[in-house]
C-alpha cells in the first residue's frame, strides 16, 4: 500500500535544478534510503517532504492527499511527521524529558500521558537515567538518542532522518545503525533516511534510492543496487567496483585495447559503439607473469600494492587503472607483468 508518493518533484535555485523530476512510491512501514554525494538533491528532497521547502514542480502525496505542490504547501507542523537532524537539534534549554515530550505537548495530550509516553521512549532508547539532565551534559551519541526518542515519541506517520549519524565517530555510528533499525522494526514508521554513506544505506534500507545531480539514478533493494548497478555512477558510488571503458563488438562480446572479452550481463550499446562494464574488485583473478592472454583476460602491469592483512589491494594498469583485491599470499612487486582474468557472469555491461 503506497503511503508516501513523490510525483515529478522538482526544485530549482536560480534556474539550476537542485531536484529534477523525482518520482518515488513508498509503502507503509518501508525504510527508504536516499543515497548520493553531497549536492545530489537528497536533502532538498527530504526538506520538501517535511514541508520546509515548496516544490517548483510536481507534488507530494501522503495517503493519497496532496501535501505539497507549487504554490500550495501544508506547513511542516500540520504533516504529522517527525525528523532527526544532522545537527541533532536537541534543544539545549530543555531537559531530556522536556525535549522528548515536546511533540506530545504540541499534540495537546494530557500531562500524565505525555510523561508516561516520554519515559517509555527514554526506556526504549536507554536514556532513563538522563531524563532530568540538560543536553549539554550528554555525549554526542546520547544526544543523538535523545533526538531519536523525541522523533519517535509522537508516533509519527512518517519519520525523516537527515544524515543523523554523520557527526558521530565510527564506533558509535555502527552501534546507532543497529539502534535505528531496531527501533524501526519495533515501531514500524514509514522512514526516509538521507545519507551519503553507502554502508549505512546497505545495512538499514529496505530499498535504496541512488541520486545524482538532482535525479534518481536507480531504485532497488540493497542487493539489487550492489549486484546490478544500472549506471556507471551507481557502480562507482556503491563502491568496490571497477568501471572499464570498452567497445561493443556484438552479442556478449566487447573489446578492450584490442583484446576480446565476454560480458555475461547488463546492457549493451549496440555493435561498434562505446560502452562500459563494471566488475567488483574481488571478482577478477590476478595471474602472475602475463602470458595467459586470450582466455577472457587482459595483460597488465602492477603499479602499486597495499597489504591489508586479509588481502592485498593492487593497482594494475591494463591500459586503464584497475583496483584488484587479491589473496594476501600473492606478493607481486610494482612493475611485475600480470594477467587480469575476467569471469563473464561477474561482469555487467553499462550504457548509462
Partner 1 sequence: MALALAILVLLPLGWLAATSLTTDNAPRELTFRHYHQLFVDRSFLEPFWVTLWTSVAVGLLCVAFAAPMAWLVSRTDLPAKRLLRMMILASFATPPFLGAFAWVLLGGPNAGLVNHWYYWITGFKPFEAESLVNIFSAWGIVFVTALYTFPYVFTFVATSLDHIPSDLEEASAILGAPAWRTAIDVTLPLALPALLAGFLVAFLQSMTLFGPAAILALPASIDTMTTRIWSLFQFPPKLGLAAAASLPLLLITVVLLRAQARIMGRRGFSVLGGKSTGQRLLRLGVWKPVALLPFAFVLSCSVLLPYGVLAWTAFVKNYSAPAAGNFTFDNWKFVFLEFSQTRLALTNTFLLGVSAATAGTLLATTIGYLSLRKLVWGHRWLSFLATAPVAIPGIVLAVGLFLAYTHAPLVLYGTLTIIFLAYLTKEMPVGYQQVASSLKSVHPELEDASRIFGATRLRALVDVTAPLIRNGVIATWMFIFIGSIRELSATILLFTARTKTVSVTMFDLRESNDWGPIAVLSLTMLAITFAMILAINFFNDRRVT
Which residues here bind partner 1, judged by CB under 8 A?
A: 50-52, 75-79, 81-83, 85-87, 89, 91-93, 102-103, 106-107, 134, 136, 150, 154, 160
Which grid cell is 216?
534518481
Give the residue with the Cβ less far from partner 1, 109 or 265.
109
Give the residue with the Cβ less far from partner 1, 64 or 92.
92
Give the residue with the Cβ less far from partner 1, 163 or 200.
163
* Gyration radius of the chain over CA positions: 25
Residues 245, 221 contacting (CB under 8 angstroms): no
Minimum Å distance from CB 52 to partner 1?
Answer: 6
Give the residue with the Cβ less far from partner 1, 103 or 220.
103
Residues 6+ apart with CB under 8 A from 297: 259, 287, 339, 340, 341, 342
Minimum Å distance from CB 167 to partner 1?
Answer: 12
What are the beta bridge partners of residue 160?
83, 192
Minimum Å distance from CB 125 to partner 1?
Answer: 16
Distance of alpha carbon 342 from its chain centroid, rounded?
28
Minimum Å distance from CB 51 to partner 1?
Answer: 8
Give the residue with the Cβ less far from partner 1, 168 or 234.
168
Minimum Å distance from CB 13 to partner 1?
Answer: 13
Query: How far apart (Å, rounded) are the C-alpha atoms in residues 220 and 106?
Result: 37
Give the residue with the Cβ less far from partner 1, 159 or 211.
159
Give the residue with the Cβ less far from partner 1, 101 or 284.
101
Minimum Å distance from CB 1 to partner 1?
Answer: 24
Minimum Å distance from CB 150 to partner 1?
Answer: 8
Minimum Å distance from CB 307 to partner 1?
Answer: 31
Residues 352, 232 contacting (CB under 8 angstroms): yes
Write the burial class of residue 31 (CB in 10 Å: 0-12 exposed, 13-18 middle, 19+ buried).
Answer: buried
Give the residue with the Cβ less far from partner 1, 104 or 254.
104
Amino acid at each position: 500500500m503506497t503511503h508516501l508518493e513523490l510525483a515529478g518533484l522538482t526544485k530549482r535555485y536560480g534556474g539550476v535544478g537542485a531536484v529534477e523530476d523525482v518520482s518515488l512510491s513508498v509503502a507503509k512501514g518501508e525504510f527508504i534510503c536516499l543515497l548520493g554525494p553531497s549536492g545530489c538533491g537528497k536533502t532538498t528532497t527530504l526538506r520538501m517532504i517535511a514541508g520546509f521547502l515548496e516544490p517548483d514542480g510536481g507534488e507530494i502525496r501522503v495517503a493519497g492527499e496532496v501535501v505539497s505542490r507549487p504554490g500550495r504547501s501544508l506547513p511542516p507542523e500540520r504533516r504529522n511527521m517527525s525528523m532527526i537532524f544532522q545537527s541533532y537539534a536537541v534543544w539545549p534549554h530543555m531537559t531530556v524529558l522536556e525535549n522528548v515530550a515536546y511533540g506530545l505537548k504540541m499534540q495537546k495530550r494530557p500531562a500524565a500521558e505525555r510523561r508516561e509516553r516520554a519515559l517509555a521512549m527514554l526506556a526504549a532508547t536507554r536514556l532513563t537515567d538522563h531524563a532530568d539532565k540538560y543536553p549539554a551534559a550528554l555525549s554526542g551519541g546520547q544526544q543523538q538518542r535523545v533526538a531519536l526518542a523525541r522523533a519517535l515519541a509522537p508516533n509519527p506517520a512518517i519519520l525523516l532522518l537527515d544524515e543523523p549519524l554523520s557527526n558521530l565517530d565510527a564506533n558509535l555510528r555502527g552501534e546507532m545503525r543497529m539502534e535505528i533499525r531496531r527501533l524501526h522494526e519495533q515501531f514500524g514508521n514509514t522512514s526516509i533516511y538521507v545519507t551519503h554513506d553507502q554502508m549505512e544505506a546497505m545495512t538499514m534500507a529496505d530499498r535504496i534510492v541512488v541520486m545524482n545531480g538532482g535525479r534518481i539514478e536507480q531504485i532497488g533493494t540493497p542487493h539489487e543496487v550492489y549486484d546490478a548497478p544500472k549506471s556507471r555512477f551507481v557502480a562507482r558510488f556503491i563502491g568496490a567496483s571497477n568501471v572499464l571503458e570498452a567497445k561493443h563488438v556484438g552479442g556478449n562480446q566487447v573489446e578492450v585495447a584490442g583484446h576480446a572479452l565476454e560480458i555475461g550481463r547488463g546492457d549493451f550499446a549496440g555493435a561498434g559503439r562505446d560502452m562500459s562494464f563494471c566488475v567488483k574488485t574481488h571478482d577478477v583473478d590476478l595471474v602472475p607473469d602475463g602470458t595467459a592472454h586470450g582466455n577472457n583476460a587482459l595483460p597488465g602491469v602492477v603499479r602499486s600494492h597495499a597489504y591489508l592483512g586479509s588481502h592485498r589491494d593492487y593497482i594494475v594498469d591494463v591500459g586503464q587503472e584497475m583496483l584488484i583485491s587479491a589473496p594476501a599470499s600473492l606478493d607481486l612487486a610494482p612493475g611485475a607483468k600480470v594477467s587480469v582474468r575476467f569471469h563473464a557472469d561477474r561482469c555487467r555491461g553499462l550504457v548509462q
